[in-house]
Structure 1
């Protein structure tokens, strides 16, 4: 046991009351905590003072904080706050009720392959967000994945994450990570890439499917040697009903050469979704209809084998052709002569299979199937494919809406419109800025877009709100005004804004409390007034606004009136 494990946690850090310990790792311990202003439960990670005195640990702790600040994804733990108090470094993050994937596997041994695909697609989304932010996780493993009851995943612990644009945390040849889930290049101390994280995901998928990692050993060195040079057992050796497409994905992820793995997490997520689609296609009633085999007389494994190897029902079709040939020979008819021709048989077989294939591909989809296809596309990260969901599936459905799905279709179309407007704003800003023909409204739209991309959500909303008030509701400005309104609405509904709002308000309330303790009443009152001005109309901030009003009411008039109420326009100028 390390000496820092004997240290007890303080009762309070900053604005947080420390509760029970809920986790531990090489970079400190995690505790359940409560915000004294809002009673919200959070998780707080503490780097003990003993570790803070050891070289490199504070730098790595700050590196983890910087990594989390860049993450905005529903499958990544949200960062809230950080600080240092009495030589104890800490940061505050989202508290997730659930269990680690490690604990889940200890209980269930292994998971159904469909659950594995679902979990892996979520991890792909988390990794894409990480890689897009310029961060390689470098320590993806079951203990860093938290599962909620509904199998929603949260990726945590960026303690050894490496930013693309920075130098390594370790000296040349140093190794950081967990041996069982470490890529060969990482095991050799070489430069890690996005494909290194994908290798780790392949190892995580392997252990979820089989209940064991691809490589194991008595020592870390033995495992690393296997990662570099060893050969693992294919997952199908331990899983009888594993689709061949999924096994091939896992095997490609575990390639020794990074270039042979998938290029990025987005491409991998699409391949994983295809596994579900292919499996459903291979086991559907339509497949049995093509083969002439009833569902009662064929297992899903047989259907899968027939579909992947030689086309649905080709064995049954060949049997029928052979039977027809024998009957024709017995009658001596011209039909018998035709069936005696091998090329005719092969050509007929090809026509039947091709006809069945095109019938299956081109058959009209039901409303439920069209809506399901659209939802599957929209589950992927935002991109041009979303327009396919709109044009091919959602708009045709809206032409003949039903009471059951009309609201769902409109909701999905609204998401696509939101993406289209944001894309348009970003592209317009870049194109116009290069050509020098940017108008004033376009310039402010571009400014708001830059604030959004940099994570400065509050400043983006200030710019958009001011622009909406400034633009007249006239035809020549209507397009830009509508665009600004849509961007502001999207911003207010963005779940990522919750964390940003929480950080800003918590830090502001903490600042006001500190000023109050120093008896700087006017300055504290100015902070509370600023909170009321900026967030007074925001229902999600009502608790903070109400607390600010209570504090103001408790101050004598002569103590709170020395500093005028800040105006939103002034705050905007200062922030810029």
Structure 2
């Protein structure tokens, strides 16, 4: 559009209220209902991109399912002279990006409040199966009453051009992008939580966790860099809030919080703990008649066993009763395990402080080590070692296999750190180079190439004592990839069957039935590198159908 329009669809335009790379926003009034709306017009050039129309329709349909006081409501969408637009709730306020520019940084209490409200929006979206993908300060509005409104759900995906998705490109904004998105991998709810962590970091410190002269430099830092802890920039930040932000910015998604609900509950605890610590400090001060020593009570995190256990179990029960049943089912086990086991204060297990019997401590640690790999394994390993130290005759044989698992996990983590250094210095040995090559093939979705490298490498390293540790890593990676390939073969078989059915439906004249299959394939697997042949086939079907 060369000039601002006077009308878009049924909306009379009164003024332009914003513009950016993802379109222009106007203030409009509906000609019939007189409802005020923010009307976003997408760039006309986008309609010519292959797959754009399908993505636009798919994301708009998803947005219609959202209903939350902290998510800007979608009214309607349509086209006007080949221009795509959608009308949404108009919010009289400012974006957090504008707020940061004006205030530089926000008080921590306000940051916590904004975080809790944003969690409400994310939980609603995630329960509906919708990922934002581009959470950032400019997508968060704040009203004069202090109400947070999240906007632009799914718009990043609409702008994932065919060129990007065909090459495993990234979707999102560099300064607030998760490492997995930076790698071109599929975004998940943990990706949104990482972005929220970056937003909270920016609100409390006045700058994003990573910056650079180019987007590629910033993206590289998200994947491999280490940010400055917020307390180095803002010494007054409560330690509890700093711990939460740092956990949100973990490189590995599984190390972040399990969902937005648990995160919101932890943010609520920050305020309570600060208030409690301040109250304790005041009550510990001596009265005028006191002659004894003054006891200073530090407002540092005190995750005492009984209090923390009560908080976590209470939060979990509340979450299971209050959230979507599917989300509750999938998140139940990890949080309950966390509640029962990993309540740590000053490096000691909660259950050791409460003097649980050794058998129960073993079962709690075993429960973690039989689950998915995470940093919790390191703590569980320490508990296993403590059992041996206390009673080696009873526990040595039973604990030994689990300690081997922990040692292997440590070795794999070390390899991961070396992989990041390799970008600058190169591998320290030929077996290490080949392991890194295999891992790179795996991350790119080429499981066959990864298997080929690992199978040859483990054959060469077998019974070589100099590389026993690396051989063990190779064998475990080979086993994991074998399981992934089996699962991938099942997925490929399903997709081939579905796409063949779409071809038959199109041939029989059922274009809508074929279209729904193609859209479903893209909805589920568009960002899966290993499945590009099938998503490309779906895109081609949609492209041919639109002509």
- Per the normalisation by structure 2, the TM-score is 0.52
8 Å contact from structure 2 (residues 122, 260) kept in 1:
yes
In the alignment, structure 1 residue 179 sits paired with structure 2 residue 174: yes
| Pair 1:124–1:17, CA change in 2 (3 A) | same
SS at match of 1:305: coil
Pick one of 105, 120, 126 that aligns with 1:131: 126
Deviations 1:107-146 (A, max 9, x none): 0000000000000001101111111111111100001111
Aligned equivalents of 1:310 and 1:27: distance in 2?
44
- In the other structure, the counterpart of 2:82 is 87
8 Å contact from structure 1 (residues 27, 57) kept in 2:
no
8 Å contact from structure 1 (residues 27, 159) kept in 2:
no
**Once superposed, which parts of structure 1, at least 4 consecutive aligned residues long, lie more than 6 Å away?**
none
Q: Which has the higher contact order (CA 8 A, sep 6+)?
A: 2
The farther-off stretch of 188-197 and 60-69 is: 60-69
| Pair 1:304–1:104, CA change in 2 (3 A) | farther
SS at match of 1:383: helix
SS at match of 1:276: helix
Runs of at least 5 residues in structure 2 that lack an aligned partner in the other structure = 324-547
- In the other structure, the counterpart of 1:158 is 153
In the alignment, structure 1 residue 196 sits paired with structure 2 residue 134: no
Aligned equivalents of 1:125 and 1:310: distance in 2?
25
- In the other structure, the counterpart of 2:321 is 383
Deviations 1:522-549 (A, max 9, x none): xxxxxxxxxxxxxxxxxxxxxxxxxxxx
| Pair 1:159–1:231, CA change in 2 (3 A) | same
- In the other structure, the counterpart of 1:527 is none
- In the other structure, the counterpart of 1:242 is 237
Deviations 1:160-211 (A, max 9, x none): 4569xxx998235211111111111110111221111100000000000000
Runs of at least 5 residues in structure 1 that lack an aligned partner in the other structure = 1-5, 312-353, 363-372, 386-576
Deviations 1:376-418 (A, max 9, x none): 99xx989359xxxxxxxxxxxxxxxxxxxxxxxxxxxxxxxxx
Aligned equivalents of 1:175 and 1:154: distance in 2?
25
Aligned runs of 1:353-392 on 2, under 5 Å? Answer: 383=321
| Pair 1:308–1:55, CA change in 2 (3 A) | closer
SS at match of 1:201: helix
| Pair 1:155–1:16, CA change in 2 (3 A) | same
Deviations 1:263-303 (A, max 9, x none): 1000100100011111111112x5532x24469x9xxxx96
Aligned equivalents of 2:11 and 2:322: distance in 1?
43
8 Å contact from structure 1 (residues 214, 232) kept in 2:
yes
8 Å contact from structure 1 (residues 47, 61) kept in 2:
no
In the alignment, structure 1 residue 256 sits paired with structure 2 residue 251: yes
How many residue pairs align between the two structures?
310
In the alignment, structure 1 residue 21 sits paired with structure 2 residue 16: yes
Aligned runs of 1:421-570 on 2, under 5 Å? Answer: none
- In the other structure, the counterpart of 1:268 is 263
- In the other structure, the counterpart of 1:116 is 111
Measured after TM superposition, the shift of residue 58 of structure 1 is 3.0
| Pair 1:38–1:247, CA change in 2 (3 A) | same
8 Å contact from structure 1 (residues 27, 61) kept in 2:
no
| Pair 1:238–1:39, CA change in 2 (3 A) | same
Aligned equivalents of 2:253 and 2:303: distance in 1?
32
8 Å contact from structure 2 (residues 70, 121) kept in 1:
yes
User: How large is the RMSD of aligned CA atoms in angstroms?
Assistant: 3.3
